[in-house]
Chains A and B, each alone.
Chain A
């Protein structure tokens, strides 16, 4: 299996720094190309 190059990972970090990006407190999983929620406090 070929592992992704760090430049591919970096390309997914940049949009998370954009002023238009409005999510907070979530986890971005590169391998799934997806933002995930954490369990909220009860």
Chain B
């Protein structure tokens, strides 16, 4: 039976665990070839094994740090050389930083959250939009968070970064309205992930 994403090419960042891992697996299960990006090689290899065991899609593993903007640019170049287009981009990789009053946050923590969550998302858009435009149905999904709207105390860096991610998604949707590209911001809510365990260890179940 044909799968809904047969022949589609998808980039998923943060694909070694959590929502990124299972999104990559689900896309592959629908027949997509997934370019799985993450820092943790072991997690990527586990994903590759799971995709092979599922027997539908396939994967290319790209160990990379989303804080490395040059690597994001090179990713776009490599995809262009090998495939000449991209159908799906799921910008999922993100870091929580530290749950702390804004006035107590270390500058390096705030800057890291902004770099990985915001600047890398913009850089992905810049690097991959030309490839998505080569698809007949380019799709972008940017993973946000409910704190982008609730601005929960002590979650300031993360909340600000996810507000910025949503602004990127909305702006990008407007800029590509005349093209086949469709962009969706996605709020997963509280989920059983390592990030949630870091933020609220007693509440992860």
CB interface residues, A 1-42, toward B, < 8 Å? 1-7, 9-14, 16-19, 21-31, 35, 38
- Do A24 and B173 touch across chains, with their CB atoms under 8 A apart? yes
Beta-carbon contact of A14 and B169 below 8 Å:
no
B190 contact set on A, CB distance < 8 A: 3-4
CA distance A23 to B182 in the complex (A): 6
Query: Across the interface, do A28 and B205 meet the contact criterion of CB distance under 8 Å?
Result: no
A17 touches B139 (CB 8 A): yes
A-B CB contacts (within 8 Å), total count: 116
Docked CA distance A11–B24 (Å)? 10
Contacts of B18 in A (CB 8 A): 6
Who on chain A is nearest to B189 by CB? A31
Chain A residues contacting B205 (CB-CB under 8 Å) are: 1-3
Interface centre among A2, A10, A22 (most CB of B within 10 A): A10
| Contact status B21-A19, CB under 8 Å | no
A17 near B27 (CB under 8 angstroms)? yes
Q: Say yes or no: A24 contacts B5, CB within 8 Å.
A: no
Name the A residues within 8 Å of B4 (CB-CB).
18
Determine whether B10 belongs to the interface, using a CB cutoff of 8 Å to chain A.
yes
Which chain B residues border A3 with CB–CB below 8 Å? 190-192, 196, 203-205
Cβ contact within 8 Å between B183 and A24: yes
The answer to whether the Cβ of B166 comes within 8 Å of any Cβ in the partner chain is yes
CB within 8 Å for A14 and B26 given contacts A4-B191, A31-B189:
yes
* Residue pair B192, A5 in contact (C-beta under 8 Å): yes
Are B187 and A28 in contact (CB-based, < 8 A)?
yes
Give chain A's interface residues, CB within 8 Å of chain B.
Answer: 1-7, 9-14, 16-19, 21-31, 35, 38
Q: Which residues of B come within 8 Å of A, CB atoms?
A: 4-5, 8, 10, 18-19, 21-23, 25-27, 30, 87-88, 90, 136-137, 139, 141, 144, 146, 166, 169-170, 173-174, 176-177, 181-193, 196, 203-205
Known contacts A28-B184, A29-B187; 17 further A-B pairs (Cβ under 8 A): A3-B203, A6-B19, A6-B21, A9-B22, A9-B23, A10-B23, A17-B87, A17-B141, A18-B4, A19-B136, A21-B139, A24-B184, A25-B174, A26-B185, A27-B166, A27-B184, A29-B189
What are some 8 contacts across the A-B interface (CB < 8 A)? A4-B191, A5-B22, A6-B192, A9-B191, A10-B22, A16-B141, A24-B182, A27-B184
